[in-house]
Structure formats: C-alpha cells, structure tokens
Amino acid sequence: MPNLAERQPDIAAGRLGADDYARNFSDLHPPRSRHEAFVESDRCYFCFDAPCMQACPTHIDIPLFIRQIQADNPGGAGQTILESNIMGGMCARVCPVETLCEEACVRNLAEDKPVKIGELQRYATDFLMVRGEHPFTRTHPTGKSVAVVGAGPAGLACAHRLAMHGHDVTIYDAKPKPGGLNEYGIAAYKTPGGFAEREVDFILKIGGIKIEVGEALGRDFTLAELKQDFDAVFLGMGLAGVNALNTEGEEAKGALDAVAWIAELRQAKDLAKTPIGRRVVVIGGGMTAIDAAVQSKLLGAEEVTIAYRRGQAEMKASLWEQDLAQTKGVKIMHWAKPIRLLADEKGDVHAIALERTRAESGGLIGTGEIVTLPADMVFKAIGQTFVPAPLNGAGGGIKLTGGRIEVDEERRTSMPGVWAGGDCIAGGEDLTVAAAQDGKLAAESIHRALSS
Amino acid sequence: MADLRTDFLGIKSPNPFWLASAPPTDKEYNVVRAFKEGWGGVVWKTLGEDPAIVNVNGPRYGAIHGPDRRLLGFNNIELITDRPLQVNLDEIKRVKSDWPDRAVVVSLMVPCEEKNWAEILKKVEETACDGVELNFGCPHGMSERGMGSAVGQVPEYIEMVARWCKAHTRMPVIVKLTPNIADIRRPARAALKGGADAVSLINTINSITSINLDTFSPEPSIDGKGSHGGYCGPAVKPIALSMVSEIARDEETRGMPISAIGGITTWRDAAEFIALGAGNVQVCTAAMAYGFKIVKEMVDGLSRWMDEKGYSSLSDFSGRAAGNVTDWQFLNLNYITKARIDQGLCIKCGRCHIACEDTSHQAITTTKNGQRHFEVIDAECVGCNLCVEVCPVENCITMQPLAAGAIDERTGKAVEPIYANWTTHPNNPMARQAAE
C-alpha cells in the first residue's frame, strides 16, 4: 500500500486521461495544407542573395524551394531542400528557425512576421517522404569503404553523401536504434509518428549504407580497427557524458539526468505508464531543460519550475522555446543556482534549495538568499560532455580542444584518415542542422581524399 | 456629402454604378436584389429573338486566381439570355415600374436585318425601360452566328445597325464595343456616325484561362474541349482604361458619352474611369465574385474621396485625366527622374538590385562598407521605374525628378528647363526644324 506520509514523494503514472496524453504529445506544428502552403509561400519575396539562405547552417536555397511550392511543385521543393540538407525533414520540425532562417527573413523588418520557412520546408519534405520517393541516385561504386561512428544526424548525413558518391558506408551505433538524438533526444511532440525512424529509412534508400546497431566504439571495436578495415573514418558519436551538479544531495532518488529521461520517454510505448512527479524542478537553461520541463508538464506534473543560474538573455534555449514552456505552464526562475537537494530518510528527494545569484564583474556570485522549492523529481540538464575514453589508445592521437574533437574547416581531425562532426567536435552547436552540415562537409572532404 | 447622381443620356440614376449586361441582370429576382443593395442601374442581360438560345450544360466560367484564390481574371462562354423574350419583357416592365429612380437599360442582340431590330425595339419600348444597349461585343458563340462581336468588328455594320435603331426608337441607344479589334476608335466613330447616343466598353476579350495539363483540355472544359471565352475582371482594367481614353481623346469621338466597363472592382477603379471621361460605370465580375453588397463600398468610397478632394458632383472631376493621355512622341524628354531608395523603409530584400542587375541598367548596389545595402547609382539609373514596381514596400523606392539645371550623372548634361519631345529630337529623322 502506498505510504501517504507527508514526505512520501508524489510520483505517479496516469495522471491524465488517455485523450490528454494523445493531445499533449501530438504534433506541435501540424502539417500545412496545399492551400495554406500556397498562401504562405506567396509571402516570400524571393530575395536576392537571400539572408535566410545565409542564416541556414546548411545553406538551403530557401527562396527557390518556396517558389517551387508556390508553383505547385512540392517534389522539386523537397529535392532542393534535401540537396543541401538530407535531414531537411527533421530540421523542419526541430530547427530553432526563430534564431536561424526565420530570424533573417526580411519580412521581420517589414512587419515582424517572417515567412514560415520551417512549416513550408516540412510541407515539401513531407510530400517526398509520403510518396516514398528518394530523389537522389548513387553513382557507380568506387570500391572505397568508409566507417561512420554514430547514426545520429552527423553520421547519417555523412553516410548519405558518401553513398551518393559511390562509396560503401558502414555506420556503427551503440544504441539499439539508429537516429541518435533525433530518435532519443528530441521532445516527443516535435517529432511524433515515428518520424525519426522513417527519416532514417528514407535516407538509407540511397543504397550502399549498412547500419550496425548495438556496436559501441571502445567496447565492441576500436578506432585502430576501423582505420585498418576502412579507407576513411567519420566520428559522429555525440556527447556521452553529462555534467554533474556538484551539489550536496545530488545522489538522492528522484534526481535524474534529463537527457536519459527524455530518451526513455521517446521510447515509451505507453505514456500513461510513465511516472512523473507532482512537483518537478529542472536545473538548466538549454533546450534539454525546456524539453524535460515541458514534457513533465504534458505528462501531468502540477508544478514545473526551470531554475537557471543566470538571466533570460543567457539561456541557451531560444526565446521561442522559453515562450513555449511558459505557455505550457512551466515557470522559469532566473538567477537561482542549486546548492542542496533535500532527501528524506529513505533517500527520496523532496525539495531543492536554491541560492539567488547575481552577475558581478563578469562572474556569478551567490547573494546568500535561499529559496527552497518542494520537488518530487529534479532533472539535471546542465549540459553534456564529450567522453574521449572510447577513442582508446588512439585518443592520444586525436587532438581535443575544450574537451571535444578538434577539426578543421573540412571537418578533418588531427589524425589522417579520420573526420568528425556533430556535437562531439569543438564548436559543435547542439543542433541537428549543424550536425547535418558537418556530416555533409566531411563527406565531401572524404570523397575528395578518396578520389585523389 | 458628395452628390453621386448621374444623368447619362437623360437616364437618371442615384449613383454611377450600374450592373453590366450579364448573368447578374438576367432576371427580376437578381435585379431587385441588386437595387435593394443600392445599385444605381442595370443593363438587362441581352435579349434575343425566340426561340431562346441554349447554353452549354457544363462549366461556363473559368478563372485566374491569386495564391489565396482571389479572382484576378475571369472568363465565360455563356450566351445571351436563355429565357423566352416575353418573360424578360414582363419582368423588365415590372422592375422599372417598381424602381422608377433606378436606370434600367436593355441589352439587345438580333440578326443584322433592319426588321429584326425594328421588331424587338418596339417590344422593348413597351416595357418603359430607359434605353437600349446594342450588344456588338460578345466574343463567343453568338459571334459565330453573325452577331455580337462579329458586328462589332465591322465598323460599317455598327453604323448601319445604330442608324436603324435610332430610326426605330425614341430611346437612347448605347453601342457596346468589343475590344477584340485593332483600333477601338474606328467602331466608336462608326457608332457616332450611325447616330448612337453613347458607347459602352469594353466587352470581354477572347481568352482561354488555362490548359488542363492532365487532360490537355482548355478551361473551362466541356467534355474535354474548350472554346475561347470572354475575359474580364481586374486583369482587364488596364486594357479598358486605355480603350476608353482613346475614345475620350479622339478628335471625332471626343465628348461622346461613354459608359465604362472592364474590371471595375472598387470605387477607385470607377473614379479612374470617370476621370477619363466616363459618364458612369458598369460592373459585372466583382459582383459575380462577391455579391451585390460590394456597391456599398463603391458608393461610400467614391463619396468619401470626392469629399476629401472637394468635389461635390461627378462632373467636378469627370474627364480630368483625358487630356493627360497623349501620344508617346509628345512626352517630355527633358523630364529626367532618378530612383531613390528610402533606407529607413528598405527591408533589404534586394529585389530592386537583381531586377536592375539582371534585366535593366545595373544601377543598384548590393553592399556598402561590406554591409548589405541597396542604393541607386545615379550614373547608371535611367529612371525606368522597374525597381519601384518590384519593391515589396510601398513608397520605399520613389522616382524623383531632377530639377532644371541639375546634372544628370548618367549623361553628364544639365537638365534643360524646357519641354522637348521626340518630334524635335535631333535623333528623329522626321524632326521638324524650327525655322531659321
């Protein structure tokens, strides 16, 4: 029988009705109809040297694809997108467009209302994917082989481009399913309906790509072996480590790593069976913090608070994401850092003590004022780290900068024959679109190297 | 409050907005609804002889749409009324009697024989309607039978029929002109010579709205085939304005009353036609797209604009633009303009640059001090207005005339203070030299 004592943590599944789960985790931006796409695409000015195109990390020819939509050629539009970014379908769903293409749209200057580029991109890419058409063909096989470590956005983008150029690619991924953060990291309501999986299938249609899942670098194979067995290696394994809070009581039960929890939630078969605290506190200020907080709320948590140690301007989550969280009922508390997690005698967390902070001469100092929030669950979302250990003995041969793999403009690492991209490289941006660009650039560089 | 009343050939109406001869005026039911909404008059849908014609039983209309399905151009293959003559005549008589303050003009089309015209005119006169309009414009179907635009394309026929009509009726006679002709002045002159009291124009333009790329049928499609229809709606207004202006400024037809038709959708369109000298306007497509209520906007808009301008009646501005329409050869070549981009309004889309760079005079920059910046290069700008027209921001780019004496950086010459046109230009082999 449940213990109803005062300090019993209130963590429960099934807080909502079945319809509520379905509604809460349905598509955040439902797809646009053909007519809506016509009307919206007509708003595009077909700018010269379009700022949106420059703002896109993969430089999709946005004016051209929008014009193709306007001319009732959604297939051509889809291909224009995928030529620059094979993950264009996922990017249409998860890109923080408000800080990329849509922020650059000249309509912001005219009327503060950018063309809804992301929604149009989704319209075009959905068209191709629903038809099941893969718009690219593989050139004649080169006989060269490339190993790709990590089946996330960087690895898949790299593999697709390499396969298109005729190389044989083998992707290794430690997880049971390919897709990386697209499959395990993104909030469920941004990519419902198994989209990540469908996109992987779509990408693999190019042919020449083999995926080995459940295979981890450093555990099941080594970099040295890959270098021996393949003509080139691409590392796109992402960030395996999470930052610790380094806070007293961190080990309390109910204090969870947000990244792992989000991954679990994405794979949950039945959301109604996913337990969530009545009062949830999320520590952090990035997209992961937002995703954890919003999904907690959508699962039926009553009070969800994001505590961030600095101000709104410093939050890595975009303003749009912050607005989304607040609209969903999440409270965002700025200038508060965790100092202690309070657990009961059984070790279950029941509250978190936060200290108010302020910025002073570039640094951050505690003001001494303590705020204690009751919490049945605490999520830690204060950033991830690259774990270099799996690079094995070869790790010494690959230069790191700031704890991540150093690459040049072509995404070459310091080790000949090894390229890298995505979150694991120095300067990695924690964006699907940036990872896709890394993979594409690396593939072109590998192709040049293998062709010479 | 401006006075919108018009007196066109002695036909009085409370405002200049008439419904053109077309489906909206085919029967009493529609016309009464129109009058209730405030239309000043109607031209009843064209009557013919019994037995009544038949229409196709499939689509009669086609259209060109904007991205949000706004109707930009419209086309039809409908013929004249397909109801028995007497039914129409009875209804016309009743409507005119019930609505004595509104104009009721009847459109007519019968074979090109004097007795046919004499006969129908006699019947129409009995309705006590205000006048007749001779449909010499309908470009489809009826023209294949020697009527409609088949008459309108032959000035001699126009003159002949107009003369018959004037001889056989006391009613004012308006001749409706087809635009499917090389020079609109010739049929207008013929109408005048035949004694017609006025012309109305334009009727619809030969057109196919689109080709269905699945069936390869023209649209509108009747069982996989199509026939050219008559084009109308906002898209044709510029053509109508030009044709009206030609008649308004022609030496022979100047002063002849004109009832203007062609894409009139708002009060502004109407005001433009009246400024060219039209005595009233006729509307069809806009009503067919939105219903009769649009006349409320038209009446109110025209009235407010007139109040703002201090015009108390239509005659205060009627014809004011006609004198400004001239031949190209008389345009002032010493009027030199340069485009100016208001940097405060510019949204940096670069449309002006790429249009100028790719298709015109390479007169707009892309950067300044490494920043995206669009600015006119006066030494290249010919003042063509392309940038103004492609700029998505109203008034962001404007054409500024250079003052007399200013140096045109493109030519290096000072702007001459005097008017000078092609007729005296040194490059013109036909230039008339001033006497020594």
DSSP code, position B320: T
Question: Which A positions 49-88 lie with beta carbon below 8 A of chain B?
Answer: 49-51, 70
CB A52 within 8 A of CB A104: yes
Q: Which residues of chain A make contact with B68, given a CB cutoff of 8 A?
A: 38-39, 42
Residue A96 identity: P
Q: Quick one: pLDDT at residue A395?
A: 55
Please spell the DSSP secondary structure of B15-82, one letter per residue: SSEEE-SSGGGSSHHHHHHHHHHT--EEEEEEE-PSSPP---SS--EEEEE-TT--EEEEEE---S--
Out of A38, A39, A45, the one facing B349 most closely (by C-beta) is: A45
ipTM (interface pTM): 0.88
Asked if the model's pLDDT at residue A265 lies above 50, the reply is yes
Asked if the model's pLDDT at residue B190 lies above 70, the reply is yes
Enumerate helices (H) and strands (E) in chain A, giving the number of each: 17, 19
Q: Quick one: pLDDT at residue B436?
A: 45
User: Which burial class, exposed, middle or buried, applies to A226 when counting CB atoms under 10 A from its CB (0-12, 13-18, 19+)?
Assistant: buried
Is A4 touching B (CB cutoff 8 A)?
no
Segment A121-150, tens digit of pLDDT: 999 999 999 998 899 999 999 999 999 999
Contacts with A223 (C-beta within 8 Å, 6 or more apart), sequence order: A217, A233, A391, A392, A394, A418
B331: its two tokens: 């345009």
Asked if the model's pLDDT at residue A1 lies above 60, the reply is no
Is B353 touching A (CB cutoff 8 A)?
yes
Asked if the model's pLDDT at residue A4 lies above 50, the reply is no
Beta-carbon separation of B351 and A38 below 8 A: no
Out of B67, B350, B393, the one facing A47 most closely (by C-beta) is: B350
Could you tell me which of B274, B194, B232 has the C-alpha nearest to residue B8?
B274
Our CA-based measurement puts residue B353 at a distance from the nearest CA of chain A, in whole angstroms, of: 8
Q: Quick one: pLDDT at residue B269?
A: 98
Beta-carbon separation of A106 and B353 below 8 A: no
The CA distance from B410 to B146, in Å, is 56
Contacts with B72 (C-beta within 8 Å, 6 or more apart), sequence order: B63, B64, B65, B66, B233, B234, B235
Q: Quick one: pLDDT at residue A5?
A: 45
Q: Quick one: pLDDT at residue A47?
A: 97
Average the pLDDT over A267-271 and give the result.
Answer: 91
- The residue of A64, A68, A106 whose CB has the most chain B CBs within 10 angstroms, and thus the best one to mutate to test that interface, is A106
Beta-carbon separation of B366 and A35 below 8 A: no
| B322-345 residues labelled b (16+ CB within 10 A) or e (exposed) | beeeeeeeeeeeeebbbbbbeeee
Is B372 touching A (CB cutoff 8 A)?
yes
Could you tell me which of A438, A385, A384 has the C-alpha nearest to residue A413?
A438
Q: Which residue of A has its CA nearest to B357?
A: A48
pLDDT band, residue B1 (cuts 50/70/90): confident
| B378-415 residues labelled b (16+ CB within 10 A) or e (exposed) | beebbbbebbbebbbbeebbbeeebeeeeebebeeeeb
Our CA-based measurement puts residue B238 at a distance from the nearest CA of chain A, in whole angstroms, of: 24
Could you tell me which of A232, A212, A90 has the C-alpha nearest to residue A165?
A232
Q: Quick one: pLDDT at residue A362?
A: 82
Q: Quick one: pLDDT at residue B55?
A: 92
Chain A and chain B share a number of CB contacts under 8 A equal to 39
Beta-carbon separation of B349 and A47 below 8 A: yes
Question: Which B positions 391-420 lie with beta carbon below 8 A of chain A?
Answer: 392-393
Asked if the model's pLDDT at residue B47 lies above 70, the reply is yes
The CA distance from B42 to B35, in Å, is 9
Segment A251-263, tens digit of pLDDT: 999 999 999 999 9
Our CA-based measurement puts residue B68 at a distance from the nearest CA of chain A, in whole angstroms, of: 5
Average the pLDDT over B53-69 and give the result.
Answer: 94
B352 belongs to the catalytic site: no
Could you tell me which of A358, A348, A347 has the C-alpha nearest to residue A309?
A358
Is A46 touching B (CB cutoff 8 A)?
yes
Q: Which residue of B has its CA nearest to A114?
A: B347
The CA distance from A391 to A430, in Å, is 21
Q: Which residues of chain B make contact with A41, given a CB cutoff of 8 A?
A: 67
Q: Which residue of B has its CA nearest to A108?
A: B347
Rounded (10°) CA dihedral B263, B267, B269, B273: 110
Our CA-based measurement puts residue B216 at a distance from the nearest CA of chain A, in whole angstroms, of: 18
Out of B69, B347, B350, the one facing A49 most closely (by C-beta) is: B350
Q: Which residue of B has its CA nearest to A69?
A: B67
CB B407 within 8 A of CB B414: yes
Residue A131 identity: R
Q: Quick one: pLDDT at residue A2?
A: 43
The CA distance from B310 to A324, in Å, is 53
A66: its two tokens: 């929008």
CB B131 within 8 A of CB B172: yes
Beta-carbon separation of B351 and A46 below 8 A: yes
* pTM score of the predicted model: 0.91
Q: Which residue of A has its CA nearest to B343?
A: A109
Out of B68, B351, B354, the one facing A39 most closely (by C-beta) is: B68
Contacts with B311 (C-beta within 8 Å, 6 or more apart), sequence order: B2, B317
Beta-carbon separation of A48 and B353 below 8 A: yes
Tell me the residue ranges of DSSP E strands in A204-289: 209-213, 232-235, 241-242, 255-257, 276-277, 279-283
Q: Quick one: pLDDT at residue B434?
A: 54
The CA distance from B401 to A388, in Å, is 69
Segment A184-193, tens digit of pLDDT: 998 888 888 8
Segment B121-177, tens digit of pLDDT: 999 999 999 999 999 987 788 888 888 888 899 999 999 999 999 999 999 999 999
Could you tell me which of B230, B262, B265, B233 has the C-alpha nearest to residue B245?
B262
Beta-carbon separation of A106 and B348 below 8 A: yes
Our CA-based measurement puts residue B242 at a distance from the nearest CA of chain A, in whole angstroms, of: 30
Is B65 touching A (CB cutoff 8 A)?
no
Q: Quick one: pLDDT at residue A205?
A: 96
Asked if the model's pLDDT at residue B181 lies above 70, the reply is yes
Indicate which residue of B112, B129, B138, B232 is catalytic. Answer: B138
Mean pLDDT of chain B: 96
Beta-carbon separation of B348 and A45 below 8 A: no
Segment A201-241, tens digit of pLDDT: 999 999 999 999 999 999 999 999 999 999 999 999 999 99
Q: How far is CA A317 from CA A96, A285, A328, A382, B315, in A?
A: 9, 6, 15, 12, 65
The CA distance from A248 to A338, in Å, is 9
Q: Which residues of chain A make contact with B351, given a CB cutoff of 8 A?
A: 45-48
pLDDT band, residue A391 (cuts 50/70/90): confident
Q: Quick one: pLDDT at residue B426?
A: 92
Q: Please identify which residue in the block is written with the tokens 């000015």.
A: A45
Segment B295-354, tens digit of pLDDT: 999 999 999 999 999 999 999 999 999 999 999 999 999 999 999 999 999 999 999 999
Is B366 touching A (CB cutoff 8 A)?
yes
Is A42 touching B (CB cutoff 8 A)?
yes
pLDDT band, residue A284 (cuts 50/70/90): very high
Beta-carbon separation of B351 and A47 below 8 A: yes
Beta-carbon separation of A45 and B353 below 8 A: no
All structural domains of chain A, each given as residue ranges with its CATH number in brackets, are 34-131 (1.10.1060.10), 145-240+387-451 (3.50.50.60), 242-384 (3.50.50.60)
Average the pLDDT over B411-433 and give the result.
Answer: 91
Q: How far is CA A48 from CA A51, A76, A106, B374, in A?
A: 8, 20, 11, 11
Our CA-based measurement puts residue A40 at a distance from the nearest CA of chain B, in whole angstroms, of: 9
Segment B380-405, tens digit of pLDDT: 999 999 999 999 999 999 999 999 99
B92: its two tokens: 């016309």
Could you tell me which of B262, B143, B139, B145 has the C-alpha nearest to residue B199?
B262
Q: Which residue of B has its CA nearest to A110?
A: B347
Q: Which residue of A has its CA nearest to B70?
A: A39
Q: Quick one: pLDDT at residue A330?
A: 97
Segment A346-386, tens digit of pLDDT: 999 999 999 999 999 888 999 999 999 999 999 999 999 99
Asked if the model's pLDDT at residue A396 lies above 70, the reply is no
